A = this chain, B = another copy of it.
Protein backbone atom coordinates (compact mmCIF):
# COMPACT_ATOMS: atom_id res chain seq x y z
CA UNK A 1 0.00 0.00 0.00
CA UNK A 2 2.80 2.49 0.77
CA UNK A 3 4.26 1.99 -2.71
CA UNK A 4 0.87 2.61 -4.30
CA UNK A 5 0.46 5.82 -2.31
CA UNK A 6 3.92 6.96 -3.45
CA UNK A 7 3.01 6.11 -7.07
CA UNK A 8 -0.18 8.13 -6.79
CA UNK A 9 1.69 11.15 -5.43
CA UNK A 10 4.03 10.89 -8.43
CA UNK A 11 1.07 10.62 -10.80
CA UNK A 12 2.14 7.16 -11.91
CA UNK A 13 -1.06 5.71 -13.33
CA UNK A 14 0.08 2.23 -14.38
CA UNK A 15 1.39 -0.28 -11.83
CA UNK A 16 1.96 -4.00 -12.48
CA UNK A 17 2.62 -6.42 -9.64
CA UNK A 18 4.98 -9.06 -10.97
CA UNK A 19 8.50 -10.35 -10.36
CA UNK A 20 11.14 -12.84 -11.41
CA UNK A 21 12.81 -13.43 -14.76
CA UNK A 22 9.36 -13.75 -16.37
CA UNK A 23 8.52 -10.19 -15.28
CA UNK A 24 11.65 -8.87 -16.98
CA UNK A 25 10.74 -10.73 -20.18
CA UNK A 26 7.18 -9.37 -20.02
CA UNK A 27 8.42 -5.79 -19.64
CA UNK A 28 11.11 -6.11 -22.32
CA UNK A 29 8.90 -7.66 -24.99
CA UNK A 30 5.35 -6.91 -23.88
CA UNK A 31 2.47 -9.34 -23.31
CA UNK A 32 -1.30 -9.19 -23.76
CA UNK A 33 -1.59 -7.31 -20.48
CA UNK A 34 1.81 -5.66 -19.94
CA UNK A 35 3.00 -3.15 -22.56
CA UNK A 36 6.60 -3.27 -23.80
CA UNK A 37 8.93 -0.78 -22.08
CA UNK A 38 12.27 0.65 -23.27
CA UNK A 39 14.12 0.81 -19.94
CA UNK A 40 14.10 -1.50 -16.91
CA UNK A 41 15.71 -0.28 -13.69
CA UNK A 42 15.89 -1.61 -10.17
CA UNK A 43 17.43 -4.47 -8.21
CA UNK A 44 16.57 -8.15 -8.32
CA UNK A 45 17.86 -11.61 -7.46
CA UNK A 46 20.30 -13.55 -9.64
CA UNK A 47 17.55 -14.84 -11.98
CA UNK A 48 16.27 -11.31 -12.51
CA UNK A 49 19.82 -10.05 -13.05
CA UNK A 50 20.49 -12.69 -15.73
CA UNK A 51 17.17 -11.88 -17.42
CA UNK A 52 18.03 -8.17 -17.43
CA UNK A 53 21.44 -8.92 -18.96
CA UNK A 54 19.84 -10.97 -21.74
CA UNK A 55 17.15 -8.43 -22.69
CA UNK A 56 19.66 -5.57 -22.60
CA UNK A 57 21.84 -7.32 -25.19
CA UNK A 58 18.87 -7.59 -27.54
CA UNK A 59 18.13 -4.35 -29.42
CA UNK A 60 14.49 -5.46 -29.52
CA UNK A 61 14.60 -5.85 -25.72
CA UNK A 62 15.14 -3.06 -23.20
CA UNK A 63 18.09 -1.28 -21.69
CA UNK A 64 18.79 -2.03 -18.04
CA UNK A 65 20.93 -0.76 -15.20
CA UNK A 66 23.99 -2.62 -14.02
CA UNK A 67 23.84 -6.09 -12.51
CA UNK A 68 23.21 -5.53 -8.80
CA UNK A 69 25.19 -7.44 -6.21
CA UNK A 70 24.68 -7.41 -2.43
CA UNK A 71 24.54 -3.98 -0.81
CA UNK A 72 27.77 -2.52 0.63
CA UNK A 73 28.83 0.11 3.14
CA UNK A 74 32.31 1.38 3.95
CA UNK A 75 32.87 3.73 6.87
CA UNK A 76 36.07 5.69 7.37
CA UNK A 77 36.25 7.32 10.81
CA UNK A 78 38.86 8.85 13.07
CA UNK A 79 39.15 8.86 16.84
CA UNK A 80 36.82 11.88 17.13
CA UNK A 81 33.81 10.08 15.66
CA UNK A 82 30.90 8.83 17.75
CA UNK A 83 31.26 5.07 18.10
CA UNK A 84 27.52 4.57 18.64
CA UNK A 85 26.73 6.36 15.37
CA UNK A 86 29.25 4.21 13.50
CA UNK A 87 27.87 1.01 15.02
CA UNK A 88 24.32 1.97 14.05
CA UNK A 89 25.39 2.60 10.45
CA UNK A 90 27.22 -0.73 10.24
CA UNK A 91 24.15 -2.53 11.62
CA UNK A 92 21.75 -0.75 9.25
CA UNK A 93 23.76 -2.29 6.43
CA UNK A 94 24.25 -5.67 8.09
CA UNK A 95 20.52 -6.21 8.63
CA UNK A 96 19.86 -6.02 4.84
CA UNK A 97 20.86 -9.61 4.19
CA UNK A 98 23.39 -12.25 5.11
CA UNK A 99 25.57 -11.26 2.12
CA UNK A 100 25.66 -7.52 2.94
CA UNK A 101 29.18 -6.11 2.78
CA UNK A 102 30.27 -4.16 5.88
CA UNK A 103 33.71 -2.53 6.13
CA UNK A 104 34.96 -0.18 8.81
CA UNK A 105 38.31 1.62 8.51
CA UNK A 106 40.00 3.77 11.15
CA UNK A 107 43.43 5.04 12.05
CA UNK A 108 42.51 4.64 15.72
CA UNK A 109 42.78 1.23 17.39
CA UNK A 110 40.70 2.57 20.26
CA UNK A 111 37.92 3.63 17.91
CA UNK A 112 37.94 0.21 16.24
CA UNK A 113 37.61 -1.46 19.61
CA UNK A 114 34.87 0.91 20.82
CA UNK A 115 32.86 0.28 17.64
CA UNK A 116 33.20 -3.48 18.11
CA UNK A 117 31.75 -3.24 21.59
CA UNK A 118 29.01 -0.80 20.60
CA UNK A 119 28.01 -2.88 17.58
CA UNK A 120 27.63 -5.96 19.77
CA UNK A 121 25.48 -4.01 22.24
CA UNK A 122 23.17 -2.51 19.61
CA UNK A 123 22.90 -5.84 17.77
CA UNK A 124 21.13 -7.41 20.75
CA UNK A 125 18.19 -5.05 20.28
CA UNK A 126 17.56 -5.73 16.58
CA UNK A 127 14.65 -7.90 15.37
CA UNK A 128 16.80 -8.99 12.40
CA UNK A 129 19.65 -9.92 14.73
CA UNK A 130 20.31 -13.32 13.12
CA UNK A 131 20.75 -11.84 9.66
CA UNK A 132 22.89 -8.95 10.92
CA UNK A 133 25.06 -11.32 12.94
CA UNK A 134 25.84 -13.47 9.92
CA UNK A 135 26.83 -10.57 7.68
CA UNK A 136 28.81 -9.00 10.54
CA UNK A 137 30.76 -12.22 10.94
CA UNK A 138 32.13 -11.59 7.44
CA UNK A 139 32.66 -7.86 7.97
CA UNK A 140 36.10 -6.26 7.94
CA UNK A 141 37.49 -3.89 10.57
CA UNK A 142 40.69 -2.40 9.16
CA UNK A 143 43.27 -0.35 11.05
CA UNK A 144 45.28 2.02 8.84
CA UNK A 145 48.37 4.01 9.78
CA UNK A 146 46.86 7.18 8.35
CA UNK A 147 43.44 8.17 7.01
CA UNK A 148 44.74 8.65 3.43
CA UNK A 149 45.44 4.91 3.34
CA UNK A 150 41.74 4.34 3.99
CA UNK A 151 40.90 6.22 0.80
CA UNK A 152 43.29 4.03 -1.18
CA UNK A 153 41.37 0.99 0.05
CA UNK A 154 38.11 2.78 -0.75
CA UNK A 155 39.15 3.56 -4.32
CA UNK A 156 40.25 -0.03 -4.91
CA UNK A 157 37.08 -1.53 -3.39
CA UNK A 158 34.71 1.12 -4.84
CA UNK A 159 31.91 0.83 -2.25
CA UNK A 160 28.25 1.41 -3.07
CA UNK A 161 27.94 3.61 0.06
CA UNK A 162 30.81 5.49 1.70
CA UNK A 163 30.34 7.19 5.08
CA UNK A 164 33.00 9.61 6.34
CA UNK A 165 32.93 10.41 10.05
CA UNK A 166 36.09 12.46 10.18
CA UNK A 167 36.95 15.82 11.61
CA UNK A 168 36.08 18.12 8.70
CA UNK A 169 34.94 15.29 6.41
CA UNK A 170 34.50 17.66 3.47
CA UNK A 171 38.19 18.23 3.02
CA UNK A 172 38.64 14.56 2.03
CA UNK A 173 36.23 14.70 -0.93
CA UNK A 174 39.05 15.09 -3.45
CA UNK A 175 40.55 11.79 -2.29
CA UNK A 176 37.41 9.87 -3.30
CA UNK A 177 37.64 8.46 -6.79
CA UNK A 178 35.37 5.45 -6.64
CA UNK A 179 32.16 5.31 -4.60
CA UNK A 180 28.47 5.21 -5.47
CA UNK A 181 27.13 7.70 -2.90
CA UNK A 182 28.99 9.52 -0.14
CA UNK A 183 27.69 10.53 3.32
CA UNK A 184 29.61 13.24 5.16
CA UNK A 185 29.89 13.80 8.87
CA UNK A 186 28.16 12.73 12.06
CA UNK A 187 24.61 13.73 11.11
CA UNK A 188 24.34 11.96 7.76
CA UNK A 189 23.56 8.27 8.32
CA UNK A 190 23.42 6.20 5.14
CA UNK A 191 19.73 5.49 5.80
CA UNK A 192 18.83 9.10 4.91
CA UNK A 193 20.10 8.25 1.42
CA UNK A 194 17.82 5.21 1.34
CA UNK A 195 14.74 7.24 2.09
CA UNK A 196 14.90 11.01 2.22
CA UNK A 197 18.05 12.94 1.31
CA UNK A 198 17.06 13.19 -2.36
CA UNK A 199 20.02 11.39 -3.93
CA UNK A 200 19.26 8.32 -5.99
CA UNK A 201 19.25 5.02 -4.18
CA UNK A 202 19.98 2.76 -7.20
CA UNK A 203 23.77 2.63 -7.02
CA UNK A 204 26.64 0.60 -8.48
CA UNK A 205 27.70 -2.40 -6.38
CA UNK A 206 30.39 -5.07 -6.72
CA UNK A 207 33.11 -2.61 -7.73
CA UNK A 208 31.14 -1.09 -10.62
CA UNK A 209 31.48 2.34 -8.94
CA UNK A 210 34.92 2.35 -10.58
CA UNK A 211 33.37 2.95 -13.97
CA UNK A 212 29.70 3.84 -13.40
CA UNK A 213 27.65 6.28 -11.38
CA UNK A 214 24.23 5.62 -9.91
CA UNK A 215 20.88 6.04 -11.58
CA UNK A 216 20.05 9.63 -12.60
CA UNK A 217 17.26 11.36 -14.51
CA UNK A 218 19.55 11.09 -17.50
CA UNK A 219 19.32 7.28 -17.31
CA UNK A 220 15.74 7.63 -18.54
CA UNK A 221 16.73 9.80 -21.50
CA UNK A 222 18.64 9.20 -24.71
CA UNK A 223 20.32 11.65 -27.01
CA UNK A 224 20.07 12.06 -30.76
CA UNK A 225 22.25 14.42 -32.80
CA UNK A 226 20.73 16.49 -35.62
CA UNK A 227 22.75 18.48 -38.14
CA UNK A 228 21.81 20.73 -41.04
CA UNK A 229 24.28 22.42 -43.36
CA UNK A 230 23.55 25.46 -45.46
CA UNK A 231 25.04 25.60 -48.98
CA UNK A 232 27.69 27.98 -47.58
CA UNK A 233 28.37 25.57 -44.71
CA UNK A 234 28.94 22.71 -47.13
CA UNK A 235 31.29 24.86 -49.20
CA UNK A 236 33.30 25.49 -46.04
CA UNK A 237 33.34 21.94 -44.59
CA UNK A 238 33.17 20.02 -47.87
CA UNK A 239 36.89 20.22 -48.79
CA UNK A 240 37.80 18.85 -45.33
CA UNK A 241 35.48 15.89 -45.89
CA UNK A 242 36.96 15.27 -49.34
CA UNK A 243 40.51 15.26 -47.98
CA UNK A 244 39.69 12.87 -45.14
CA UNK A 245 37.65 10.58 -47.39
CA UNK A 246 40.67 10.43 -49.72
CA UNK A 247 42.97 9.37 -46.88
CA UNK A 248 40.57 6.50 -46.19
CA UNK A 249 40.27 5.66 -49.90
CA UNK A 250 36.49 6.05 -49.76
CA UNK A 251 35.59 7.59 -53.10
CA UNK A 252 31.85 7.23 -52.50
CA UNK A 253 32.15 9.29 -49.33
CA UNK A 254 34.00 12.01 -51.19
CA UNK A 255 31.53 11.84 -54.04
CA UNK A 256 28.53 12.64 -51.80
CA UNK A 257 30.18 15.99 -51.10
CA UNK A 258 31.71 16.58 -54.53
CA UNK A 259 28.45 16.12 -56.41
CA UNK A 260 26.82 18.76 -54.21
CA UNK A 261 29.73 21.20 -54.43
CA UNK A 262 29.65 20.91 -58.21
CA UNK A 263 25.97 21.84 -58.20
CA UNK A 264 26.76 24.87 -56.07
CA UNK A 265 29.63 25.93 -58.28
CA UNK A 266 27.32 25.76 -61.26
CA UNK A 267 25.06 28.14 -59.38
CA UNK A 268 22.10 25.88 -59.68
CA UNK A 269 20.85 25.90 -56.13
CA UNK A 270 17.30 24.70 -56.57
CA UNK A 271 17.08 20.95 -56.23
CA UNK A 272 13.51 21.15 -57.47
CA UNK A 273 14.69 22.54 -60.78
CA UNK A 274 17.41 19.93 -60.90
CA UNK A 275 15.11 16.98 -60.50
CA UNK A 276 12.80 18.48 -63.09
CA UNK A 277 15.72 18.83 -65.45
CA UNK A 278 16.44 15.15 -64.94
CA UNK A 279 12.95 14.29 -66.15
Q: Which residues of A contact B (CB under 8 A)?
A: 2, 38-39, 53, 57, 59-60, 62-63, 67, 79-85, 88-89, 91-92, 94-96, 110-111, 114, 118, 122, 125-128, 132, 158, 165, 169-170, 173, 176, 179-200, 206-214, 216, 218, 222-231, 233-234, 237-238, 240-241, 244-245, 247, 249-257, 259-260, 263, 271-272, 274-275, 278-279
Contacts and interface: CB of A to CB of B under 8 A. Distances in A.
Given A83-B275, A182-B224, A183-B227, 19 more contacts: A59-B211, A79-B275, A84-B278, A85-B260, A110-B279, A122-B255, A128-B252, A179-B224, A184-B227, A185-B229, A189-B256, A191-B241, A191-B253, A192-B237, A196-B240, A198-B227, A200-B225, A214-B225, A218-B218
21 contacts: A59-B158, A59-B208, A59-B210, A81-B275, A84-B274, A85-B260, A91-B255, A92-B253, A92-B255, A95-B253, A96-B250, A114-B278, A122-B255, A127-B251, A128-B251, A182-B226, A187-B228, A188-B228, A190-B256, A192-B234, A216-B223
A25 B119 CA distance: 43
Contacts of A211: 38-39, 59, 62-63, 222
A256 B179 contact: no
A275 B167 CA distance: 13
A224 B255 CA distance: 46
A53 B67 CA distance: 13
Q: Report copies per complex.
A: 2
Chain B CB within 10 Å, residue with most, of A126, A224, A249? A224
B88 A259 contact: yes
Contacts of A226: 173, 181-182, 184
A132 B229 CA distance: 26
Contact of A192 (B188, B224, B257): B257
A187 B261 CA distance: 9
B127 A249 contact: yes
A256 B191 contact: yes
Contacts of A278: 83-84, 114, 118
Contacts of A263: 82
A212 B222 contact: yes
